[in-house]
């Protein structure tokens, strides 16, 4: 059993109160949704858990796009009709394979973003869905995923209160591909792609690869190369090869860098072909 160093369990009455505790204690306190990682990855300097689940942040709302409260569990998202209907059911397709049913009853979407595990399937998916995060760090703000993770890299830890997914037009589709050793194991690598098309050409393009083994990022140069282009077989193979060359692939105990590049090529190719199928062809 992993020891826990938590000595204070704090249930703030408001987001402001939660932020004040976190700001005051720094690394001594950790915000929790389901609290799984606070137990599994407990470190001696973090002695307080700040439970955000009493702050009315568990909801899925259809606001044109989707608004998902940070402490909404994966089960709650999977059971919410607006989430099931969103963009061809991509949230159901991906989330019902995340962890186990028992864990999906505990784990929250905000907690997954906060934990930022490099193997996360949710993070590349939210990247390509164009998610925006509502944050609070003394004042409220709304940032893109890239902006949020850039702030994390610079040492800031704004609280996530809501995940917003923009509404997408009919001529858009999303696909996801995960590679793992077993159905239950975390990803060796995962790929997500989103496209909207106009007059037979790619208009909005978002591609994200996770588990390289670093945390997922958008592949901006690859997205730019596909933008404005038709989506024929030759283009798909060229873009998939470019993605394989672009990722920051490294070796770890799960896979070699070379294998990860191969998976990236195959994964991006599969995602783009599936998008073509969903859109009924892009010529």
Partner 1 sequence: MTITVTINGTSKRLAIEPGERLFELLRREGYMGVKTGCGTGDCGACAVLLNGRAVNSCIVFAAKADGGEVTTVEGLERDGRLHPVQEAFLDEGGIQCGYCTPGMVIGAVDLLSRNPEPTEDEIRQGLSGNLCRCTGYVKQVRAVQQAAAAMKGGGNDG
Query: Which alpha helices (H) appear in 41-189, and where do they start and end?
Result: 74-79, 81-85, 90-95, 101-104, 109-115, 122-128, 145-153
Is the CB of 95 or the CB of 282 nearer to partner 1? 95
Choose which of 13, 64, 102, 154 interacts with partner 1 (CB under 8 A): 102
Is the CB of 44 or the CB of 280 nearer to partner 1? 44
Compute the CA torsion angle 253, 46, 98, 160 (nearest 10 deg): -130
Q: Which stretch binds partner 1 (CB under 8 A): 49-57, 81-89, 126-134, 148-156?
A: 49-57
Q: Does 280 bind partner 1 (CB under 8 A)?
A: no
Nearest to 8 by CA among 59, 62, 50, 43: 50
Is the CB of 33 or the CB of 213 nearer to partner 1? 33
Choose which of 20, 103, 229, 235 interacts with partner 1 (CB under 8 A): 103
Q: Does 181 bind partner 1 (CB under 8 A)?
A: no
Q: What gap in Å lies between CA 19 and CA 128, rounded to an integer?
A: 29
CB of residue 231 to partner 1, shortest distance in Å: 32
Choose which of 101, 138, 228, 281 interacts with partner 1 (CB under 8 A): 101
Does the bond joining 213 to the residue before it have cis omega, within 30 degrees of 0? yes
Number of H helices, E strands in the chain: 12, 12
| 29-32: strand order across its sheet | 8-10, 48-51, 29-32
Choose which of 99, 214, 215, 279 interacts with partner 1 (CB under 8 A): 99
Q: What gap in Å lies between CA 38 and CA 5, rounded to an integer?
A: 9
3-state helix, strand and coil shares in percent for the chain, rounded to the nearest 5? 40, 25, 35
CB of residue 96 to partner 1, shortest distance in Å: 7
Is the CB of 34 or the CB of 65 nearer to partner 1? 34
Q: Does 6 bind partner 1 (CB under 8 A)?
A: yes
How far lies 19's CA from each of 5, 16, 126, 140, 245, in Å?
21, 5, 24, 11, 41
Count, residues near partner 1 per rule CB under 8 A: 32
Is the CB of 79 or the CB of 224 nearer to partner 1? 79
Q: What are phi and psi of 253, to 5 degrees?
A: -70, -15
Choose which of 24, 56, 79, 224 interacts with partner 1 (CB under 8 A): 79
Nearest to 90 by CA among 124, 119, 140, 61: 124
Site string for partner 1, 182-221 (x = CB under 8 A): -xx-------------------------------------
Q: Which stretch binds partner 1 (CB under 8 A): 3-11, 22-30, 215-223, 241-249?
A: 3-11
Is the CB of 13 or the CB of 102 nearer to partner 1? 102
Helix axes 233-246, 257-278, angle to 10 degrees: 150
Applying CB under 8 A, which residues contact partner 1? 1-2, 4-9, 11, 32, 34-36, 38-40, 42, 49, 51, 53, 75, 79, 96, 99-103, 105-106, 183-184
């Amino acid at each position: 059993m992993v020891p826990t160093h938590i000595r204070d369990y704090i249930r703030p009455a408001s987001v402001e109160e939660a932020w004040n505790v976190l700001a005051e204690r720094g690394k001594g306190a950790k915000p929790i949704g389901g609290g799984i990682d606070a137990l599994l990855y407990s470190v001696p300097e973090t002695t307080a858990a700040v439970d955000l689940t009493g702050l009315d942040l568990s909801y899925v709302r259809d606001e044109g796009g989707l608004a998902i409260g940070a402490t909404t569990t994966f089960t709650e998202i999977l059971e919410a009709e607006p989430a099931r209907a969103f963009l061809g059911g991509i949230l159901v397709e991906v989330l019902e394979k995340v962890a186990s049913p028992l864990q999906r009853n505990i784990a929250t979407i905000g907690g997954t973003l906060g934990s930022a595990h490099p193997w996360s399937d949710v993070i590349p998916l939210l990247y390509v869905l164009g998610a925006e995060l509502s944050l609070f760090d003394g004042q409220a703000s709304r940032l893109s995923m890239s902006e949020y993770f850039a702030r994390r890299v610079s040492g800031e830890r704004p609280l996530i209160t809501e995940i917003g997914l923009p509404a997408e037009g009919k001529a858009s589709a999303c696909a996801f591909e995960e590679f793992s050793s077993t159905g239950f194991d975390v990803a060796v690598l995962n790929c997500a792609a989103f496209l909207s098309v106009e007059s037979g050409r790619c208009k909005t393009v978002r591609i994200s690869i996770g588990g390289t083994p670093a945390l997922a990022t958008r592949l901006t140069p690859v997205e730019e190369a596909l933008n404005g282009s038709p989506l024929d077989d030759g283009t798909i193979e060229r873009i998939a090869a470019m993605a394989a060359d672009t990722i920051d692939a490294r070796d770890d105990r799960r896979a070699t860098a070379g294998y990860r590049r191969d998976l990236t090529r195959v994964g991006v190719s599969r995602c783009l072909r599936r998008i073509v199928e969903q859109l009924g062809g892009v010529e």
